[in-house]
Chain A
Amino acid sequence: MSDAPLAPVPGLARRVLHQPGAVLGGGLFAVIVLAVLIGPLLWPIAPEFIDVAARNQGPNLAHPFGTDQLGRDTFARVLWGGRISLAVGLSAMAVALLLGTLVGLLAGVFRWLDGPLMRLTDVFLALPLLPLLLVMVLLFRDSLSGVFGPEGGIFILIVLAIGGTSWMNTARIVRGDTLALREREFVLAARAAGCRPVALMLRHILPNVLSPILVSGALGLSTAIVTESALSFLGLGFPPDFPTWGRLLSDAVIYLADYPARAICPGLAISLTVLSVTYLGDGLRDAMDPRLH
């Protein structure tokens, strides 16, 4: 049995472009990003503008996604909310993936690090999330907003809060796979050939644990988007008039029976984003798998 190392090879971009799933996912993702970046500039209604006379409307020409209980335009809010949700979701996912992959690889490759790092993972899994977040806010909100300004501070705090409390699954999965890979022939061969541990980790092991990492990335993105809204209920997130997808969705749930469009629009936005990232990840994985070519 001779597993060939999976390694980024020249022409990766070309191969990705040959994966229909990746093209579809990437295209969809690009459309969503463009919409939330440019959309708010083009759409004339401000997301926080209240027009009480126009409240509780279903989708119509003036308000394609309808309006909420105060008469705010849901379309404008979904566009605006996407900026925050995507920024928070992607950054938090990146933090969690980086942390998780690093901890998992280190624990898997270096035996002496395995015990301490995995016990650290146990600690993080065991700490109750809510009090942890409340303490983070208490300790860091003021100092972070002092350094990065109120909004920048909140953004960094939220990203660190979500990323810093959701890396553990990735870490354990990556470590589990690494433990198995460590004993495979190609790794043993590389080691025998004098490959240094760090190079071994990055060149031989990382590419082979990429597919679970990509899966946890896509799942982590949707968790991060939804968790952001949970934070703002605790008073940890952005101010209450700041629309985000998670918040729009949870605010709309009580109106689900009467005005379903209000919940479906932000829900669909989250689902499509996660779906596009999933397809992109699957395509990326396939493009990097030499056996499929």
Chain B
Amino acid sequence: MLSYTIRRLAFAVPTLLVISLLIFLLLELAPGDPMAQVPLTVPPEVKAQMREALGLGEPVHLRYWKWLVQMVWVEPLVLVDHLFGTDFSEGKLRILSWQHRGPVMDVVVQRLPQTLWVVGTAYVVGILIALPIGIWSAYRRASIFDQAGTFVTVVGYSVPPFFTGPLLILVFAVQLGWFPAIYDTTHRVTDWQGFTVQLKQMVLPVMVLSLQTTAQIARYMRAAVLDNLGQDYVRTARAKGLSEATVLGVHVLRNSMIPVVTVIALGMPAIFGGAIITEQIFSINGIGAQLIGAIKAPDMPTVHTITFLFAVLIVLTNLAADLLYGWLDPRIRYE
């Protein structure tokens, strides 16, 4: 297992290099102009000069190489400096955004808290609700609970966040006035009072997001448990006189987790990546909003950096899922 892990990690390096190059070429090829948001009152000659100042005149391979050096060498040095108070990165040029001209990584770090708070919480809440729903729906197949569960999860999944978000705002923020409609990113939790304020502003976006997660995971969980309930080992376990709770909670659950672990791992990078539409509706300005803003600008260094970090997470979580398979079902071997 260990040698497999090491081999996979070693293989991740060329994979990520290829991904970063592909992303770069894709962005290069995509139609778009960093001057698109500059007003039409700015004459074309001035826009040409502005483009030049962004370094767009340089050849493609040079720009990719520059980004790569900054990403894998300068930015880690900055992190080291930040942690240990050294000054290795002194005078080295960091990855600068085309929109705000500041270091891209600083903004990513600035955005992480609000993204993790909202999207992370929603993910955890969604999983915690989904697992029992999925298991119980399968266990009591065709019961009222199963029917209602299927109905709610499917309807919940099929209405997109751009609809549920404004709906919840209308009901809970405008009509009832219980929760704020705009997320205050400057809010700092220092005491109990501050914590309740934070909770209140998280309620609506977390509801919107966890609805999607819950629906998706509950459906897969239900299907997997159903597949396992009919298996012989369940009959054997029951025959041995194990309680239903043990049979369901230990044997069936463990064997049903493979597809669910896959789905959860696939969704993990999105916790970091944020939720584009929901972030926009509630003005959370997390990494999702940052990415979509950068794509629309378009701000190539920001898009490239964020999607690359995203790719790192995808590769790592998928590796984690593969390792978990082996733990869940020891018969799965990698060599």
Contact = CB atoms under 8 A, between A and B. Distances in A.
A binds B: yes
Interface of A: 1-3, 21, 115, 118-119, 121-123, 125-128, 130-132, 134-135, 138, 168-169, 172-173, 176-177, 179-180, 182-184, 208, 211-212, 214-215, 218-219, 222, 225-226, 246, 249-250, 253-254, 256-257, 263, 267, 270-271, 273-275, 278-279, 282, 285, 289, 291-292
A169 B268 CA distance: 13
B198 interface: no
B159 A214 contact: no
A180 B333 CA distance: 9
Most chain B CB within 10 A, of A179, A246, A273, A274, is at A179
Contacts of A118: 318
Interface string B6-47: 000001000100110011001101111000000000000000
Contacts of A132: 26, 30
Nearest to A2: B232
A215 B223 contact: yes
B232 A177 contact: no
Nearest to B307: A128
Given A176-B259, A177-B258, A275-B151, A212 B224 contact: yes
Interface stretch (B108-116, B120-128, B160-168, B188-196): B160-168
B19 to A, nearest CB: 5
B220 interface: yes
A143 to B, nearest CB: 16
A126 B325 CA distance: 22
A270 B325 contact: no
| Interface residue SS majority, chain B | helix
A87 B27 CA distance: 30
Q: Name the 9 nearest CB pairs between A and B, nearest first.
A: A291-B230, A126-B311, A183-B331, A222-B158, A131-B30, A211-B223, A274-B158, A176-B262, A226-B160
B305 to A, nearest CB: 12
Contact of A215 (B160, B170, B219): B219
B15 A119 contact: yes
Given A134-B31, A172-B266, A180-B332, 13 more contacts: A1-B231, A3-B232, A169-B263, A176-B258, A179-B258, A180-B329, A183-B332, A215-B219, A215-B220, A226-B160, A249-B163, A267-B163, A270-B159
Contacts, number: 171
Contact of B226 (A131, A177, A211): A211
B73 interface: no
Contact of B31 (A2, A121, A138, A282): A138
Given A3-B231, A127-B23, A274-B154, A115 B11 contact: yes
| Interface residue SS majority, chain A | helix
A278 B259 contact: no
A173 B259 contact: yes
Interface residues of B, number: 65
Contacts of B261: 176
A285 B219 CA distance: 13
Contacts of B139: none
Given A211-B224, A226-B160, A122 B318 contact: yes
Nearest to B236: A1
B154 to A, nearest CB: 5
B162 A285 contact: no
19 contacts: A122-B15, A122-B19, A122-B318, A126-B307, A126-B315, A130-B295, A135-B26, A135-B29, A138-B31, A180-B329, A184-B331, A212-B224, A219-B216, A222-B158, A249-B163, A253-B162, A267-B159, A271-B154, A279-B150
Most chain A CB within 10 A, of B160, B224, B292, B318, is at B160
B294 to A, nearest CB: 10
A214 B265 CA distance: 20
A19 B29 CA distance: 51
A152 B70 CA distance: 45
A212 B163 contact: no
Given A1-B232, A177-B259, A134 B157 contact: no
Contacts of A271: 154-155, 158-159
Nearest to A279: B150
A289 B230 contact: yes
B233 interface: yes
A248 B216 CA distance: 24
Contacts of A130: 292, 295
Contact of B223 (A212, A254, A279): A212
B121 to A, nearest CB: 23
